[in-house]
Amino acid sequence: MTQSSDTTSYKDIKQTVLDRIRSGAWPPDALLPSEQELAVEFSCTRTTVNRAMRELAEEGYLERRRKAGTRVLSAPQRQARFTIPLVRDEVGALGGTYRYALVSTETGLAPEWLAARLALRPGQTAAHVRCMHYSTNTPFQFEDRWIIVDSVPQVEQADFTSVGPNEWLIQTVPFTNVELTFLASRADETVAGFLDLPKDEPVFTAERITWLQGQPVTFAKMYFAAGYRMTTQF
C-alpha cells in the first residue's frame, strides 16, 4: 500500500489523539483503546499507531504499560526543553558581535568545596579558568570554571587566551552526563566588577557539572549580565 495523502500518518493520529484529549473526549486517567483497535479505527497498521502513541508518551501526554494499556496522564508532565547553545552562538543569535577574553588561569589542588561537590579523591588537582564573554563590547557572561586534571590531562598544555575553555572542552573531551542548575545569586565584588553592575545585584546563574563515564570532567559557574532571560517555547 502507498502512503499518499489519503493514508493516515502517525502525525495525523497524534493530532487526532491530542484533539480528543484536549476536547475532553478522552479525559485524564481514561483508558484508551488498544493499538489494535485504533489501527482498525484509523485504518492503518498497528506499527503506525504505535509510533504515534509512543511519541505522545515521550512528550508526556500518555502513560503506557504493557498489558495495562494506554491512559491519559492527569497532570500532563510536559517537559520544557532548553537548547543550550554555545555562548558564541547565543550572542550571535541576539545580534551582537562575540568577543572573548581570558581573565585568569591557574592549576592547583582542588578546593575543598569542589572536591566535595564532585566527589574527588584527596589530592586531585584542577585547572581554574575564569573568562569573560562579551556581546558587542558589553559584558554578557562571566564564566568561572574548574577542569579536573586527572580526567583531562591535556588541559595542562591548553591555551585559553583565544579559545574559551568551553569550546576547547567540547573539541577535546566527550562527556556522558551533565547536571545543569539554574539559580539566582547575588553579585559579589568580582562578579559585579566583570559584569559591570552594582554589587549585590541579582545575577542569573547557571552551574554545570559534566562527567565522562562517572569521572568528573568539569564544573562551571556562568554568571549572566543583568536582564538575562532563559526562555523556551513548547
Partner DNA sequence: AACAGTTTCAAGTCTACACAAATTGGAATT
Partner DNA sequence: AATTCCAATTTGTGTAGACTTGAAACTGTT
Region of 43 (left: φ > 0; alpha: ψ -120 to 50; beta: rest) is: left
Closest to DNA by CB, 65 or 229: 65
Q: Strand pairing partners for 105? A: 129
Residue of the chain from 23, 67, 119, 159 that contacts DNA (CB under 7 A): 67
Taking a C-beta distance cutoff of 8 angstroms, is the pair 140, 91 a contact? yes
Q: What Cα–Cα distance (Å) separates residue 136 from each residue in 91, 98, 99, 219?
A: 9, 6, 7, 27
Nearer to DNA, 76 or 193 (CB): 76
Kindly state whether residue 68 participates in binding DNA, applying the rule CB under 7 A: yes
Chain positions contacting its own copies, by CB under 8 A: 21-23, 60, 75-86, 89, 170, 174, 176-186, 200-205, 228-234
SS (H, E, C) 142-211: EEEEEEECCCCHHHHHCCCCCCCHHHHHHHHCCCCEEEEEEEEEECCHHHHHHHCCCCCCEEEEEEEEEE
Contact of residue 185 among DNA, its own copies, none (CB under 5-8 Å per partner type): its own copies
Cβ 122 to its own copies shortest distance, Å: 26
Nearest partner of 186 among 197, 178, 173, judged by Cα: 197
**Near DNA by CB under 7 A: residue from 15, 45, 77, 154:** 45
Judged by CB under 7 A, the residue of 28, 69, 76, 174 near DNA is 69
Q: By CB under 7 A, is residue 100 in contact with DNA?
A: no
Q: Which residues bind DNA (CB under 7 A)?
A: 1-5, 7-12, 32, 34-36, 43-48, 50-51, 53-54, 57, 64-70
